[in-house]
Every structure is written in C-alpha cells, then in structure tokens.
Amino acid sequence: MKQGFLPISRKEMEDRGWSQPDFVYVSGDAYVDHPSFGHAIITRLLESLGYKVCILPQPDWRRRESIMEFGEPRLAFLVSAGNMDSMVNHYTVAKKRRRTDAFSPGGVMGKRPDYAVVVYCNLIRQVYKHTPIIAGGIEASLRRLAHYDYWSDTLKRSILLDSGADLISYGMGERSIAAVAEALDAGLSIRDITYIDGTVCKVRDLSSVYDPVILPSYEALKEDRLNYARSFYTQYCNTDPFSGRRLVEPYSDHCFVVQNPPAKPLTQEEMDQVYSYPYMRTWHPAYDEAGGIPAIQEVKFSLVSNRGCFGGCSFCALTFHQGRILQTRSHKSLLTEAKGMTEDPDFKGYIHDVGGPTANFRQPSCKKQLTKGVCSKKQCLFPEPCKNLEVSHKDYVKLLRKLREVPGVKKVFIRSGIRFDYVMADRDDTFLRELCQYHVSGQLKVAPEHIADPVLDRMGKPKNSVYQSFVKKYESINRQIGKKQYLVPYLMSSHPGSTLKEAIALSEYLRDLGVMPEQVQDFYPTPSTISTCMYYTGVDPRDMGPVYVPKNPHEKAMQRALIQFRDPRNYDLVLEALKKAGRMDLVGFDKKCLIRPRRPKDKEEGAGRRIKQYAPAGQGERKAGKRGKKKTIRNIHRKKTI
C-alpha cells in the first residue's frame, strides 16, 4: 500500500504511474485524510483492497470539464456531498445562507452546490453516459427513499431517481462498497447488482425482488400526508440489519426503488482495521495557502471509540444512518492511535474527545442484539430503561484510565454527548466520579433539550425528573471532590409538541436557575427523522396521534426569545408571547416575573434607559446619574450565562 495522500489531480495520478483509476470519489468536502471524514475511510478501504482510487474534491459544478480531471474510471464514480447534508451545510434553520463552510479551504462558503449529490451525479451523467455512479454519504443515505425536504417545503422523490445514480450505498458503507467493488471488478453489470445489503437500487419490475414489503407509491404519499407517516414508520421499523425487511417504493408500473436490508455491523476487529489505514491525518497540502480546512481542528486529536446509538432521539437521524447497534474499537486500537497523536508536533498533550454519537456507550444495550437485532417498536432507554438493558461503564472507565497513563498525554476530555439517563441507570457512580475528576474542565455539556414532559415525550427523551436527579448527583459529586464545575444544557425551541405554554415553562425554569443560554437551537427538520415526519404530517408516526407543530416563523421566534428572555432585544417578542398565552402574571416587578412592564415614556427615552428598563424583574433598579446607569448595565452583563 502506497503511503501519502491519494491523488486529487491528473498529475498526482500520473506520478503514481497510473493511466486510469478504478474509482473516482467525488466529494463536496475538501480532501482531509483523517478517519473522521467519510471520504477518507472509503477511499482508504478501497485502496487496501488493491484498487486505484483518485479523489475529486469540490469540483466546479458549473463546468463539465471539472468532472473530467481523471477521465473515465475503470469501475465507477463514487459521489458524496460530504460529512454534512449540503443544505444543512449551507443554510440555517431560518433558511438564511451561512457565512462559512468548515469543510472548505479557509472556511470559504460556496465551494459546493445545493443538493450536491444530485448536481454532481447529473454532471457526471452529462459527460459519461454509461459509467456506473454510486451515491453515498449522509445526504444520499438519508434521502434514499421519498422524503420531506424542508428547504423547498416539498416531498421529494428518492435521490436515486433525481440524481441519475445507479446505486446508493447507505449507512456506514464499508461492507456495501467493498461488495459492490468486488462485483464490478468481476464484470457484473451495475444493473444486475440489486442484492447487496446496505444498498438501494431501481428496477423495472419485481420479479427478482425477494420477499419485499411494498410501501405506498410516491403518488399516494403526495396525495395524503398520513400515508407518508405510515410509510416512514415502516421504514423506521426496518432499520435493523438482522430483522429489517427489503422495502419497495413504487413510482410507476415500470419504476420501483428497492431498499435492501441494512448491512451487518462491523466486528471489533473490522472496526480496528478501518482506523488502522495509513491516514495522513490532515488536509492535502494543496490547501495550505488557503489556511487549511477548519473542520479538522475539532477532530484531529479526538478518538472515535464507537459507532451506533440506541438512544433513539426523535430528532436524530442516527437510527437511519449508523443504526442502533453499538460497534466499538478495542483498547489496543485506541491506545495505538493516542500514542501516534503524541508524536505529532502540533499535539499539546490534550486529547479532545473519546467518544462517538454517544460517548458513554461502549456495548450493545442487550446481548440479543448481535444475533437478533434491536426491537423494532421499542426503545432501549425511552420512555424508561428497558428491563433487559445492560448498564455498565466499566469498559469505558478502563479505557479512559489507560489513555490518561499514555506518556505525553496531559488530559483526556469527553466532549461527545453523554446520555445522562444511562448514567443514572448505572448503580455504580465510578464513571460519573471519574468524569468529574479527570475529564471535565469547568463545564460539562449535556442535552436535556427541554424540561416540559409533553415535549420530551415527542423528542424521545427521558422525563425532566431524570435530568433533575442527574443535576443533583453531578453537583453532589463535584462538592465531594472539591471542584466547582457547571452543567451546560443544550436546549431546543419549537420542536413538534411545543406550544407557547411549554416554551414559557422552559423560560421559568431558566429564570429559577438564574441562567441565560447564549445559544439556542431551533428545531431543524432534516431528512429521515421522526421529528421531521411530525413536522411535515402533523402526526406522530409511532401512534398516528395528532401533534401540535409550531411552523409560523413569528411563533418560532417567540419560542426562541422566551428561552433568552433576559436579552433586551427579545423584549417585544417575549411580551407578545406572554400576552398571547395569557401569562401577563409574568410581567411585573416580582422576582418570579420574566420582564418588567414598559412605561409609555420609555419608548421615547435613550438606549441606556431602555437597557435599564429591560433588566430582569427583581434585580433592583439604579436611579439617576451616569454612574447608576453604568452599574445597571454592568449588572446585566455580569448575570450568569451558559
């Protein structure tokens, strides 16, 4: 296996003595040869199998010539939008264009198109009419069947049809892409590769499709959103590699999209192999002049210890992509990578993270999963921990202890999310104690998301009482070890099920806590999540019951403002929300009030007086004079934030 970066230009390809690559990997991200980037893993995997692989990062989609850099590959084009869905990469939840792109040279925005997989595949097909195209990555994976597209507010067809690709490799694609490569190399036509787990194909009839579950047709989905909710839940119940059925989505009498069952999870040995390839662990030198690729900063000195998540949050697409079965790397593999980090001249002694989708999951939730799969209609942790759930942090604690002892490592942080309900289900407090003692630096980020149980139920999150119990235990352990460390809760506004009543309840909780979040995430309806299905259909696909969905931009702004009610800029929105909800009892001078009433003359007075006016109720009002005003402003900014 040749060391060094894979070719990203014809010259680099020819320098290797190649006249034609076997595969050309087209990516919406710049080329970073690090295992946190999907294009690096797939290309290194194919290289390890003996294939010649070139990478075409961020081709200019406005020029057909850009796709011709390496000529026609011998076997296929592989196409991915990158580590993120291109629309999430480009737009905020308010559909405003983002200013920077962390996956592009220098963070410059505009290096990839909207709906990148469709655009890249169409561009290839204009030039190479018959060359196989295999789409993969998060964008193709989560749009593999008909899906609601938030940015166009429409129900879109399978991306397989709009892109003109021949196959989709969905989920974590190591197994499926290796099987497809082997079939193509053996001379099999791409049209005949319809049987590989972890792929989606299109067929003209169902004569060769074994034991399928027929979903509602695309036309039926468009006619009735309830049909889409039912179809989506069928898909959700078939995301397990052991029990998942083959799904068929009809588009006409002669066009069917077939989703084969998910690929089987990797063994620990296979996971270790994936992370042992000769990655350069940085961006290609071609980006040096632009300042490199910002996205690597957070992951360069982080360790991926697991894949999959049995947490089952409604707003998360992991069930559809990585699946719910935990796959882990061995201690030896992780220690080898950590020791390699210490030899990097940029390493300062700090491992930034040891985790994955959920850091403190290091084993399947129960023994039967590795042979029978996960339960299709039951969750491991929600609404309460399953009686069969095996809770243990012992392996994770052992791993962290070993990493702390690696020469050259000063501190090991845990920055991936931890499931606090899983922590609370563990009768042994060793992990939480060592987390506070060694792996937190002043603040621990957790994700209660909300405090109103009706909203938490829709989110698939534990009841608020579980989070409150965790808060008490966290504070108690920190007192015992003599540390002052805080919790930083991630909160979400405008999730399906959240009315102004629940939004106000959240603001009252923050008032009592004495904090104001600096950042709040509005619910973002990304493809293939239960929450997005609720947003589009108005029902919960799990029980088909109606769900209140805040869609009006102004109402969403009010819900967001209520979380940051102390911000003077949000006064009018907070006041309007309280009036609309009939909660004017929260406007006044009592310490339980959110805001103070505005006096008529305040509208005509200066900004300084208005800042004073907006000060939270019960904080005390300074009187006349510049000195008094400065103290008022200072007190506001001194208010504890998170």
pLDDT tens per residue across span 528-585: 999 999 999 999 999 999 999 999 999 999 999 999 999 999 999 999 999 999 999 9
Q: Length of the chain in residues, anyone?
A: 642
DSSP annotation string for 398-452:
HHHHHHHTSTT--EE---S---HHHHHH-S--HHHHHHHHHS-SSEEEEEEE-S-
pTM: 0.91
For range 226-251, the mean pLDDT: 96
Handedness of CA 575, 578, 581, 584 (dihedral sign): negative
Task: Tell me which DSSP letter residue 641 carries.
Answer: B
For all residues of the chain together, what is the average pLDDT? Answer: 92
Binding residues: 309, 313, 316
Q: How many helices (H) and strands (E) does the chain have?
A: 24, 22
Answer for the pair 28, 58: CB distance below 8 angstroms, yes or no.
Answer: yes
pLDDT tens digits for 19-28? 999 999 999 9
Binding residues for [4Fe-4S] cluster: 309, 313, 316
Tokens of 453: 């149980």
Strand partners, 521: 492
pLDDT tens digits for 164-186? 999 999 999 999 999 999 999 99
Q: Is 605 a residue whose pLDDT tops 70?
A: no
Q: What percent of the chain has pLDDT over 90?
A: 87
Q: Which amino acid is at 127?
A: V
Banded pLDDT at 603 (limits 50, 70, 90)? low
pLDDT value at position 517?
81
Q: Where are the beta strands (DSSP E) in 15-67?
A: 23-27, 53-57
pLDDT value at position 284?
98
